[in-house]
Amino acid sequence: MQWQCLPFEQLTTHQLYDLLKLRVDVFVVEQNCPYPELDNCDRLAGTHHLLGYHNDELVAYLRLLPPGTTYANSSIGRVLTAASARGTGAGHVLIQQGLEYAEQLWPNQTIDIGAQSHLQHYYRRYGFEAISDEYLEDGIPHVDMRLHKGIVSE
């Protein structure tokens, strides 16, 4: 896979279209969850978009948010792989790449995520620990998780 990590202003119109389409396809259509996908965080200063391409098709994506945006700490969100890439290991590579870019952007900073509850085990593989009780976000059970600085495991 080829990876690009770009701030909003460096995204091409095609990249922006592709990432928004993929996010809507997964989070709104597949998960049958109508919610405000465009939350104004995409274009905030310091936000970066990690795009993973296979054969020129966007198949993996996540958003890196600077401290103070959605959490006091830096954050990773909108983590997804296209249906065509599931089961290939692309999601694991995506998380590894995301953690590496987060470390480059905000060295030794704690990372918080709002994980869908059923994915807690997945994120624990990378050192994240639950820090909240389960809550509903847009009708889907979530839990906040944290990766303390300097702790990354597979």
User: For the residues 123-143, what does the mean pLDDT come to?
Assistant: 94
In a domain, 153, yes or no: no
Domain that holds residue 102: 2-147
Whole-number pLDDT of residue 150:
52
Q: 70: which DSSP letter?
A: S
> H-helix or E-strand containing 124?
helix 120-124
Domain with 143 in it: what CATH number? 3.40.630.30
In a domain, 75, yes or no: yes
In a domain, 45, yes or no: yes
Total domains in the chain come to 1
Burial string for 40-52 (b: 16+ CB within 10 Å, else e) reads ebbeeeebbbbbb
In a domain, 83, yes or no: yes
Whole-number pLDDT of residue 4:
97
The pLDDT of residue 154 is above 80: no
Instruction: Report the relative pairing of strands 129-130 and 135-137 from DSSP bridges.
Output: unpaired
pTM: 0.91
In a domain, 105, yes or no: yes
In a domain, 154, yes or no: no
Tens of pLDDT, residue by residue over 20-77, are 999 999 988 888 877 778 899 999 999 999 999 999 999 999 999 999 999 999 999 9
Cα–Cα nearest to 111, from 73, 150, 78, 72:
73
In a domain, 26, yes or no: yes
